[in-house]
Amino acid sequence: MNHINKANPWNRENDESILEIYDVVKGTREIIYEFDYLIEAPNWSKDSKYLIYNSNGKIYTFNLATKEIKEVFSDFATNCNNDHVLSPDGNSIAVSHGTREDGKSRIYILPLAGGVPRLITPLAPSYLHGWSPDGTTLAYCAERNGELDIYTIPALGGEEKYLTDVTGLNDGPEYDPTGKYIWFNSVRTGLMQVWRMKSDGSEQRQMTFDEEWNTWFPHVSPNGKTVVMIAYRKGDLGPNEHLPHKNVELRLMSAEGGEVKTAVKLFGGQGTINVNSWSPDSKKFAFVSYRIREN
């Protein structure tokens, strides 16, 4: 039984994390490693050898062959959350780090081999989700003037561009492999649903129409054919909430839209699959399920 602290659902001190891989070809899930502490949001390295995740504010690599865990040196950026994305060439990682000055999340880029982060978004809070395939642009959710919307900014820094002028939460922007589209989730029609727009913000189109689910964080496979999403059952939380400690589903859909199928049922939520975790060959994706340690 999972004993949840209902007074504070964000208390993750007793979380144990199970790093798993789902094989979309075979329809099977495999436990890769178990941690007696919180880890979140695996990325898959471009050479297929590593998974990259965050834990206790830092970024780590996990060698799939040897199970070796290494910390990525990030200098002052030791308050990283579960919004981190690899560059298209796999050599850099962009992170969302809660700055010491005000505790708000800002986006930085540093070498995946380790190094001093470079600030990209002076304005905060900014929560990273996507990096364009050509390497030039980052996409993120940001709160500006009390509204959470989707923005893009040059990866070298510069002026941010406002893409979703719609009341209510718009989150999780991620480029498809062509760079033509940005996928995201929006609460604009009542429940949280998956949407797609052109990379300039035009032609915003609803892609899921679930009446019983709040669906978040669409991740498009590298071959551009399949989308994996995380879904919360209606009534388990508010449409704009993405909480931990919930019974959730990971669901699959064609990138053209249409029927949505359940791949995995698990106990998780926040941290399970916040970022794109597809393998480079599009045959698998990584995720984290959780259990709560008995006191």
The domain covering 39-281 belongs, at the CATH homologous superfamily level, to: TolB, C-terminal domain (2.120.10.30)
Structural contact between residues 237 and 245, judged by C-beta atoms closer than 8 angstroms: no
Q: How far is CA 193 from the centre of its chain?
A: 16
Strand 161-162 to 105-111 pairing: unpaired
Nearest alpha carbon to residue 290 among 271, 277, 264, 276? 271
* Phi, psi (rounded to 5 degrees) for 180: -75, -35
Neighbours of 204 (CB within 10 A): 19
Question: In whole angstroms, what is the distance from residue 152 CA to residue 131 CA?
Answer: 9
**Tens-digit pLDDT profile for the chain (295 aa)?**
344 555 577 799 999 999 999 999 999 999 999 999 999 999 999 999 999 999 999 999 999 999 999 999 999 999 999 999 999 999 999 999 999 889 999 999 999 999 999 999 999 999 999 999 999 999 999 999 999 999 999 999 999 999 998 889 999 999 999 999 999 999 999 999 999 999 999 999 999 999 999 999 999 999 999 999 999 999 999 999 999 999 999 999 999 999 999 999 999 999 999 999 999 999 999 999 999 998 7
Strand partners of residue 53: 60
Question: In whole angstroms, what is the distance from residue 78 CA to residue 98 CA?
Answer: 8
Please give the structure tokens belonging to residue 212.
């019983």
Given this model, what pLDDT does residue 150 score? 98
Cα angle at 140 between 249 and 178, to 5 degrees? 80
Strand 58-63 to 50-55 pairing: antiparallel
